[in-house]
Each structure stands twice: as C-alpha cells, then as structure tokens.
Structure 1
C-alpha cells in the first residue's frame, strides 16, 4: 500500500533540469510541467484563450488566431496589474488541469512537478520531496551561450534574476549535481528514482 508522492523539481536556468525530468519520465514518473500546461490552456479554441483575448484585446492574437506570446509578454512584463489580470485567468485553469492529472494518477505513483520558480515563489511546502538540479554558474552560462544562443551578458542577467544556488540548496531534500558528465547525471537520477519509488510504496495513503 502506498500513496502518491509529490516531488517538486527545480533548478536554475541552464542547470539541466529538463534532462533530469526526461530521465525521471523514462523511469515511469508522471511529469507535470506547469509551464507546458500554462501554454495548453490558452491554445486556439480554448476558453482560456477567449478569456485572455476578452481581457487584453484582439491585438494579442496572431492572424491565425493563436496567442502572440511576445506581444502579451511585453504588456504584462512592466505592468503588475495587467500581470495579475493574466494570472487570474491562467492560474485557475492550470490548477484545474493539474487536479485532473492528479486524479488520474495511480496510488503510489511518483508525480514530479517541474517548477522553474519553486524557490522564488515559496512553493517548497507543497511537495513531499524537493529535488534541486545544481550546476556551477559558469557551467550554466556556457550552456546558455552554446545551446540557446544568448550572449554572456544576457545569460548572467537571467541567472541573476533567479534565486541563488545557496537559496535553492537550502530548501532541497535532494541535490542533483550536474557539473559532470551525462553518465554521472544519469547515475544520480537513477539512484534518486529508486529512493522515490521506495518512499511512494511505504508512504501512508492519505
């Protein structure tokens, strides 16, 4: 007998969190990617997109009827009230979708929430286990420059806007060190998976 184990997975930009998430998914974890769900709930034809267009005007739609994310981002980025209005539409829809996915999870499932801003938004208390993917800042910068085409200045600015490594590590139950090779990363994730499964099977059903 077990219970669903809720795991919060986070890490700074360029830390390699998506690689860890993919490895956990391959093991059988149920991945809930809040960013991806936030995109899904405003796809063409959804009530979410209709509500966003009603709030922000038709100019935030592309000619094909999809959401012009860049234009919407430019509106809400510098205006806290408009950002709050957008969140008031999107967050409940994301919450409903996450609840549906959780409802469908078998007991003793390991559910991994991919939450980029877990530390920044003070969400650690929502999870049974917090896993932090950690990499040295210089490694993060190199990955962002090489893989995402950022300048070094852009990469440093993005990293500086997030929580520090120390803040993340302070909240972690498990730290995955992604400063080495892919094989070393996979070995750590595999060991973590074994422990998560053990916990899910022994946790009291609630």
Structure 2
C-alpha cells in the first residue's frame, strides 16, 4: 500500500523528464523512475531476463547477461506484436516494483516518473496528480539528436508513436514548460515543489 501522496511525472522523448526528476530529488523528494526499474529488470541477473530469453531467444541477451536493448528496440519498432509481448512481460514487474518502492517512501509526497503515464490506467490509478514536462517539438528533436546520434527522421518517427503533445497537455493536472535552460527548469521545479508541499498536505489532512 502506498503511504504517501504521489505526483506522476511524464513527458515525451527529449522533454527533460530525467532532469526534472533530478531537481525534485535535490529538494529531498523520493523519486521512483520506471525507466530505472526497467533497466534493473533487464540488467545482468535481472529477474525479467529468463522470461525474455525464453520468449525472444538467446540472441537478445548480451554476453554479460543483460538485454540487448538495441536489438530489442529494432525488433519492437518493426513488429508491434513483439512490443506487446515485451510489455506483457515487463510492465507488470515494473508496476510491482514501483508500488514496492512507493510503499517505503517517506515525506509529504513522492514523484513517480512514467513516460507512458497517460496511456496506462494502472499508473494513473496510483498517482494523485499528474505533472507534464513539456517543450516545443523542435526543441525535443534537437535534444534527442544531440544526445543519441539519431537522425531527425528517426527522432520524428519515434515521436509519431507517442501520444500527441496536445493530448498530454489536456490530460495533465500541472505543466512545466522546459523549452528553456536547465536553470529555468530548476526554478520551475522548486515552485512546483512548494506548491505540492502545500496542496498535497492539505489533501492528505482532509
């Protein structure tokens, strides 16, 4: 059982979710990142690996025992059915580990980072508020190209598979515009932190 109020943090690729989460952590907030949990499950010795190897074959396991994420990414991009099978294995484990981490959290609230928050009713049922880290589409493209080495067409193809930005903005309780600098993002996170300390504490007492 989750013992704290939970803010669900989400955003499209290149929006700055990780940086925002890092600034919340700097405020002393417990941050549970589903991407990090996924990496742990697919790392050498990760508890998802036996099921993944059984389903997709040993070619998808690196020599060190971890998931070959590049090979898997290429497969699921080509075959939607493979994506669904991968998600059927990983998503229940990630949700279980998320709930376990949140159950241990202390403080006024915790932040749960979920890239596909609005697409997943299971996670939406866990969170008390949703926070979208948003930015201009051209900024997204430039950031992802710079950090990943992907071409513009590859980045735009990935973005096309995600929920439209406009729909996310409509669904979000709160929005941070991260089209600017990291210092501007940090100031916005600090403001949201003060707001959550106040508003979530009131909600908890009611």
- TM-score, normalised to structure 2's length? 0.85
* Cα deviation, residue 4, structure 1: 1.1
Deviation of the 1:193 alpha carbon: 0.2
Who is 2:198 aligned against? 198
**1:52-63 correspondence to structure 2 within 5 Å:** 52-63=52-63
CA contact (8 A) 2:46 2:66 kept: no
Aligned to 1:183: 183
Runs of 5+ unmatched residues, structure 2: none
> CA contact under 8 A between 1:30 and 1:109: conserved in structure 2?
no
Number of the residue aligned with 1:112: 111
Deviation of the 1:110 alpha carbon: 1.7
- Does residue 141 in structure 1 map to residue 166 in structure 2? no
- Cα distance in 2 between the residues matched to 1:203 and 1:18: 27
Alignment deviations for residues 62-93 of structure 1 (CA, whole Å, 9 cap, x no partner): 22322222233344444444433333322222
Q: Give distance in 2, aligned partners of 1:190 and 1:152.
A: 33
Change (3 A) 1:89 1:127: same
Q: Following superposition of structure 1 onto structure 2, how do residues 1-206 of structure 1 map, counting pairs within 5 Å?
A: 4-106=4-106, 108-121=107-120, 123-204=123-204
Structure 1 unaligned spans of 5+: none
Quick one: distance in 1 between partners of 2:79 and 2:33?
A: 26
User: What SS does structure 2 have at the residue aligned with 1:204?
Assistant: helix
CA contact (8 A) 2:43 2:65 kept: no
Bigger RCO of structures 1 and 2 (CA < 8 A, at least 6 apart):
1
**C-alpha distance in structure 1 between counterparts of 2:177 and 2:47, whole Å:** 41
Task: Give the root-mean-square deviation of aligned CA atoms.
Answer: 2.3
